[in-house]
């Protein structure tokens, strides 16, 4: 039997930083202390006007490939977890696959909102364990800022933009030890972006279009999230035959510091074993856990042989968790040629994409002329 191990990781956040005082200057009925005391968030990063989800995903993916010392063409499958895709179709993953030069790789999006990355990790693990894939690139990327009502202090203060990625590879030794995921659609209306789907249409058929602002029932989501993240974490800990004291690091979805602290307390974990960076990034949705993994590695908090638990929740209502045995050492130094090589490979991929589009156009013209003749 094959197992899935994390072999590479990477992250990207935009350059624009929004601190809590910006909301006060906007005239929002709030204060820096109010935001920090209720959420733990002090700042977040927001995308620029021309920055799409795929742009962030590609940058995080390149970093992950670099860390794993792999080329895009070695990837068998690209999974992008996002609820803010570039388009309704095609998938954002297809755009990322093309730009990374992952020729021949399958590509698909997963939308489980903030739980999406752990869902995608789960799906990628299944592909490797079944022997259908050897190397899978899993990316969590979202830019929920484009759906925020900047006059609603209950939502606009919470979210930031970003992307994080890991590469799973097949191995004879366990990496992903156990996983769980689930959903409860009866709570689908508690956290939603109403517009943009088939329920509300804009094609003049009599249905009234809905607004595209994110809406959330904060108190109900808070209560449910604490319960479900705890339950999901307990499930993967038990199925991995681990004891809570054997968990070296707990990385939950970074939505709210109070939710993180309440979940850790329910699990009986020491505070030093709980990773939180929500103060610096806010809730980056599907990107929050892979970004947290990258930061924990940078801070020397993850070592080979460590047992790590990831747990998440999101709209749907959805939840997921995995238990991971960490197997990848952090490289002491990276080749200075990697940026040059990746720049060359992405340029080659872009040229190849242009040539393929031109080839299809020429083929269409030839077919039309042959039919006329």
Cis peptide before 68 (omega within 30 of 0): no
Whether residue 87 lies in the annotated active site: no
Catalytic residue among 83, 114, 156, 294: 114
Q: Is there a contact between 155 and 197 (Cβ–Cβ < 8 Å)?
A: no
Cα dist from 158 to 8, 42, 104, 271, 329, whole Å = 29, 10, 38, 23, 33
Whether residue 253 lies in the annotated active site: yes
* DSSP assigned state of 6: E
Q: Is there a contact between 71 and 345 (Cβ–Cβ < 8 Å)?
A: yes
Whether residue 98 lies in the annotated active site: no
For residues 203 and 226, what is the distance between their CA atoms, to the nearest angstrom? 40
Cis peptide before 204 (omega within 30 of 0): no
Phi/psi at 354 (5° precision): -65, -45
Catalytic residue among 135, 283, 294, 307: 283
For residues 170 and 257, what is the distance between their CA atoms, to the nearest angstrom? 35
Q: Which of 277, 273, 229 is nearest to 257 (CA)?
A: 277
* DSSP assigned state of 15: S
Block residue for tokens 């749907």 = 316
Q: What order of strands is seen across the sheet that includes strand 77-81?
A: 3-12, 161-171, 135-143, 77-81, 106-110
Block residue for tokens 């970093």 = 63
- Beta strand ranges found along 69-208 (DSSP E): 77-81, 106-110, 135-143, 161-171, 176-183, 191-192
Burial of 249 (0-12, 13-18, 19+ CB in 10 A): buried
From its phi and psi, is residue 27 left (phi > 0), alpha (psi between -120 and 50) or beta? Answer: left
Catalytic residue among 253, 277, 294, 307: 253
Q: Which two tokens stand for residue 174?
A: 């366990």
Catalytic positions, written as ranges: 114, 253, 283
């Amino acid at each position: 039997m094959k197992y899935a191990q994390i072999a590479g990781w990477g992250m990207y956040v935009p350059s624009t930083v929004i601190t809590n005082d910006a909301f006060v200057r906007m005239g929002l009925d709030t204060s820096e202390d109010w935001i920090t005391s209720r959420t733990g968030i002090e700042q977040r990063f927001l995308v620029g006007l021309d920055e799409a989800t795929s742009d962030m995903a590609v940058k995080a993916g390149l970093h992950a490939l670099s860390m794993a010392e792999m080329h895009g063409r070695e990837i068998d499958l690209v999974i992008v977890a996002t609820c803010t895709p570039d388009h309704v179709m095609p998938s954002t993953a297809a755009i990322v696959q093309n730009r990374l030069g992952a020729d021949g790789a399958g590509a698909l999006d997963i939308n489980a909102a903030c739980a999406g990355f752990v869902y995608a990790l789960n799906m990628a693990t299944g592909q490797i364990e079944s022997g259908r894939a050897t190397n899978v690139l899993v990316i969590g990327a979202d830019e929920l800022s484009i759906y925020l009502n900047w006059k609603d202090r209950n939502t606009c203060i919470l979210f930031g933009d970003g992307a994080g990625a890991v590469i799973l590879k097949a191995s004879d030794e366990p990496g992903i030890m156990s996983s769980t995921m689930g959903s409860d659609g009866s709570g689908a209306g508690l956290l939603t972006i109403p517009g943009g789907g088939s329920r509300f249409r804009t094609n003049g058929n009599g249905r009234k279009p809905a607004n595209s602002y994110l809406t959330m029932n904060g108190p109900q989501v808070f209560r449910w999230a604490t319960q479900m993240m705890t339950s999901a974490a307990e499930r993967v800990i038990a199925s991995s035959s681990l004891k809570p004291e054997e968990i070296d690091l707990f990385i939950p979805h970074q939505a709210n510091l109070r939710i993180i602290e309440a979940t850790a307390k329910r699990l009986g974990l020491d505070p030093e074993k709980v990773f939180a960076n929500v103060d610096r990034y806010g809730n980056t949705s599907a990107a929050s856990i892979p970004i947290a993994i990258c930061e924990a590695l940078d801070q020397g908090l993850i070592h080979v042989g460590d047992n790590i638990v990831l747990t998440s929740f999101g709209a749907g209502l959805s939840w997921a968790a995995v238990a991971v045995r960490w197997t990848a050492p952090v490289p002491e130094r990276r080749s200075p040629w990697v940026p040059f090589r990746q720049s060359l490979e992405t340029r080659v991929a872009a040229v190849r994409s242009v040539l393929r589009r031109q080839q299809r156009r020429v083929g269409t013209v030839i077919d039309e002329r042959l039919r006329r003749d």
